[in-house]
Structure 1
């Protein structure tokens, strides 16, 4: 069971990218909750939560909160005030991430608020929350607001902290990505991502994808390669040559990126998904493009050295 305890705010970790969230309350004491997308590799998929997101490089938490509300809903909420800091720790008590929750007042029907991310917005009475699938942090924040409806800042302007301990069932999981390393005459196959691509627009990348339900990594790679390039590869001709273990500060979920080399294949690369990739090209390994996905460059460097593992974004 998730446990909640009061805790004095700790200094932000030097490598930490804190999250932000908005506890928006109307004059009837209802809370604006956001139903997140389900069946996606995102934090708390399919659960009700607060609006918000991570800070970006160079942003303060205040600036990030304003930006996230504007991006997600187009809302501008004056008078947002830090209310609590939610600190999530693992089962061993180690801090995993920290979210600054801002309190604000909003009186606007949910159906009039344009939602650009997620499934639904709704105003919710506190009594209804016990019957909803909430993320633990949101449930803790609402419970705290019922006890202390006004911000309680210390002399330094910091809000109190709520510490939430994960259960074993909530332990961190990783997204698995698969990537094809094709080398021919000292050159590697790379594709330039489409300008409208959600990931790495106008950046070069190897053929890659994420596995679907019921797929092994090899089955996924064979499918993705055929769909993206028209090239046929067989599992018996694939070998795992590198793993990049990535914690991206812009994502709450770490990623395990697997790179497989093909000893044989059939066909020549074609642009079959122009909304994702606009061209394929063989790049000499000693003259790779400047605009290359960062973890892909790390993997290619590791493969050239004969290394099998690289970690990025982790403290150690």
Structure 2
């Protein structure tokens, strides 16, 4: 399903924290996010959310494609579709459709990660051929680096008539141009140390690290590991698990612990935040204890992951569904009778905790 108003609002809030002078310009958008309509639907008027991406190469140039319908040279982008779980996922899909660059050949920037560098509101003329009235686009502009091993451009010839790589100073959009010039980005790919989403992967998944590039100062051969935090709640011999939404990009329909990826924060602080955001639970970081660690590779070629499982000795609140697009319900299960389907490493961790083991490995070749 498309991203919810709550998800979009969180992006807007973070963006306005960086650009408080744009509150008035984005006021209609923030008001629309409080309405009952789908802000990403192209039928939502007088305006709706769209997405685009500034793809930056090593020479600090930005990819532009020539749209046949408008004759304009723009960054790849377009409307959100029903299968897009996040705005970034929608933007990355457009890059692949229009220019043939898959998300696996793109790298998140360390400064902006999966948040927009620019949100631009612009007018769209009426289109009698499409039976569309004049309206506005609230365009969320993301920024990514082009990986060194990216394939050559393969343009969607039905809609795209050409492509060009332009320096920041020549970017076609004035607002995006100003943000890029002021960004300090220089084309160099710098590792993103921590991915923002833990058990959530936008579809398709964009890289958080450049291929075969270690963090600055790390020994040769160092490979970054993605860190996720997980909440192990036990009550009367029963463990709390959530049933993931059937359409979730990761483990749809499976049972899983409350989990998330870290932002720039301590592991306990990140888990406290996730517990409140996902289930309305209030936990003191001092009441968390690390009870199990899983080091895993889920599929050959995937980035290695470290799952930290914390037990909460005390908490306040009753688990509630606060992110229905990700979790459809919470339930207490006997630790000896876990449900199926369940995320495999979740079962490994719970069984390890029950057996008193502090560490497990999963998916590594022996």
| Residues 170-191 of structure 1: CA deviation (Å, up to 9, x unaligned) | 6201111000000001100000
The match for 1:209 is: 260
The match for 2:235 is: 184
Greater relative contact order: 1 or 2 (C-alpha under 8 angstroms, separation 6 or more)? 1
Report deviation, 1:245: 0.1
SS at match of 2:230: strand
What are structure 1's unaligned runs of at least 5 residues? 1-30, 53-103, 114-120, 125-130, 136-163
| 1:110–1:302 Cα change, 3 Å | farther
The match for 1:199 is: 250
Work out which of the residue numbers 318, 331, 334 in structure 2 matches 1:284: 334
Where does 1:1-316 land on structure 2 (aligned, <5 Å)? 36-39=106-109, 46-50=145-149, 112=160, 168=219, 171-213=222-264, 215-249=265-299, 252-316=302-366
Instruction: Using structure 2 for the length normalisation, give the TM-score.
Output: 0.46
After the TM superposition, which segments of 4 or more aligned residues of structure 1 sit over 4 Å from their partners?
31-35, 49-52, 104-111, 121-124, 131-135, 164-167
> Within 1, Cα distance between the matches of 2:254 and 2:158?
38
> Within 2, Cα distance between the matches of 1:204 and 1:211?
21
Instruction: Using structure 1 for the length normalisation, give the TM-score.
Output: 0.53
> Within 2, Cα distance between the matches of 1:123 and 1:250?
35
Report deviation, 1:315: 2.1
SS at match of 1:46: strand
What are structure 2's unaligned runs of at least 5 residues? 1-98, 115-143, 166-185, 191-210
| 1:251–1:204 Cα change, 3 Å | farther
> Within 1, Cα distance between the matches of 2:101 and 2:164?
6
Greater percentage in strand: 1
